[in-house]
Amino acid sequence: MAVLPSLATVADLATLLGRTFTPQQELQAQALLDQASSVVRAYVRQDITRATTTDTFTMRRADPYLHRCAGVVTLPQRPVVDIATVLVAGVESSDWWQDGSDLLLKAWPWNEPPAAHRPPQVTVTYTHGYDPVPGDIQAIVLQAANRVIVNPSGIRSETVGGESVTYLIPAVGEYLGVLLSRTEQRVLDRYRRTAGTVNLRSR
């Protein structure tokens, strides 16, 4: 599986901080941006960046009154920019159309093999994601990385004379480095995939 790029750049982070990084600091900044990007992607369950993927799914029966077709596949990566090819049970098909993230297949004999024994497998090559990365996602990645650079120990307050130190403890427990605040999660909820789609393989 290809390594996904960071959702923000070291140059973006340097501009946010108003500083110039040394080579060693650039490596640290890139590592933090990679971590923050991974955390954001895990939360929204999306790759986010523009890419072309080939995935294989199990076709499910469509509601004939809602979809007016034989079968449907919901593509998990969004937004769907373009669908290049569709193979049903290994045979290329042009008998389909797109409705948002749904791939609708016009006709399929469900009472004949292989559908009689199990639903057919649908292999889809499609382009998805954003180019450029939405500004609010980029801002959250930069904020998450910046928090660690500015406050690597997660200290919220410190009293020097009385030797009192208060640490930033997230709701999940101990301080773990690059995390998302609840406010940031609420912002990301608009991009989050909530409906499950069975993904058999990708290449």
Residue numbers of the domain that contains 118: 51-129
Looking at the fold, whether 68 and 119 belong to one and the same domain comes out as: yes
Looking at the fold, whether 91 and 79 belong to one and the same domain comes out as: yes
Residue 129 pLDDT grade (very low, low, confident, very high; cuts 50, 70, 90):
very high
Q: Is residue 198 part of a domain?
A: no
Look at residue 98 and tell me whether its pLDDT is greater than 60.
yes
- Chain-centre distance of CA 56, in angstroms? 18
**DSSP assignment of 111-160:** TSTTTTTSPPEEEEEEEESBSS--HHHHHHHHHHHHHHHH-TT-EEEEET
* Whole-number Å distance between alpha carbons of 55 and 14: 37
**Mean pLDDT over residues 40-58, rounded?**
97
Mean pLDDT (the chain) is 85
Instruction: Give the per-residue pLDDT at 113.
Output: 79
Most confident of the ranges 52-66, 144-158, 186-200? 52-66
Q: Could you read off the pLDDT of 15-39 as tens digits, one per residue?
A: 999 999 999 999 999 999 999 999 9
- Domain end, chosen from 129, 150, 179, is at 129
b/e string for 149-181 if b means 16 or more Cβ within 10 A? beeeebeeeeeeeeeeeeeeeeeeeebeebbbe
Proportion of the chain above pLDDT 70, given as a percent: 79
Q: Is residue 141 part of a domain?
A: yes
Instruction: Give the per-residue pLDDT at 62.
Output: 82
Whole-structure pTM value: 0.81
Residue 197 pLDDT grade (very low, low, confident, very high; cuts 50, 70, 90):
very low
Look at residue 202 and tell me whether its pLDDT is greater than 80.
no
Q: Number of folded domains in the chain?
A: 2
Looking at the fold, whether 174 and 78 belong to one and the same domain comes out as: no
Q: Is residue 5 part of a domain?
A: no
Looking at the fold, whether 14 and 58 belong to one and the same domain comes out as: no
Looking at the fold, whether 27 and 83 belong to one and the same domain comes out as: no
Residue 127 pLDDT grade (very low, low, confident, very high; cuts 50, 70, 90):
very high
Nearest Cα neighbor of 8 from 126, 100, 191, 140 is 140
Alpha-helical (H) ranges within the chain are: 10-17, 23-44, 135-150, 182-188
Looking at the fold, whether 109 and 154 belong to one and the same domain comes out as: no
Tokens 């809602």 locate to: 66
Looking at the fold, whether 141 and 158 belong to one and the same domain comes out as: yes
- Domain end, chosen from 129, 147, 179, is at 129
Looking at the fold, whether 55 and 86 belong to one and the same domain comes out as: yes
Looking at the fold, whether 160 and 90 belong to one and the same domain comes out as: no
* Whole-number Å distance between alpha carbons of 7 and 11: 12
Q: Is residue 197 part of a domain?
A: no
Instruction: Give the per-residue pLDDT at 117.
Output: 81
Look at residue 194 and tell me whether its pLDDT is greater than 90.
no
Q: Is residue 22 part of a domain?
A: yes
